[in-house]
Amino acid sequence: MSFECIQYERYGWYKRHEKRYNEASKKLVDSNVLMPHETEEFIWDMKIIWQREREGECAKQAVESAKSAVLSAQQAHSAPSQCSRKNR
């Protein structure tokens, strides 16, 4: 009997908070933080955790590469070119 009471209480908690949970999940999907298939179980899966870690590392590398490209472009733009001197 005790087990059934605990399960009933747990079910009641989920039912009371289900609307709020679903609204929060929808907000995360709508803001592209989560994809529609990314459920709570999906997120806590270790394979997914490692995948997110790899994605984060790739994103950091992409940012560093972009910073380097911008810096190179700025330096090239600010340096006097040989062609403009000859045309004067």
Q: How far is CA 53 from CA 47, 56, 64, in A?
A: 10, 5, 17
Tens of pLDDT, residue by residue, the chain (88 residues): 677 787 778 778 878 888 888 898 899 999 998 888 888 777 777 787 788 889 999 999 999 999 999 999 999 888 776 665 555 5
Q: Where are the domains of the chain?
A: 3-78
Task: Give the C-alpha separation, 68 to 62, whole Å.
Answer: 10
Two tokens at 27? 């907000």
What's residue 81's pLDDT? 64
What's residue 1's pLDDT? 66
Task: Give the C-alpha separation, 69 to 37, whole Å.
Answer: 35
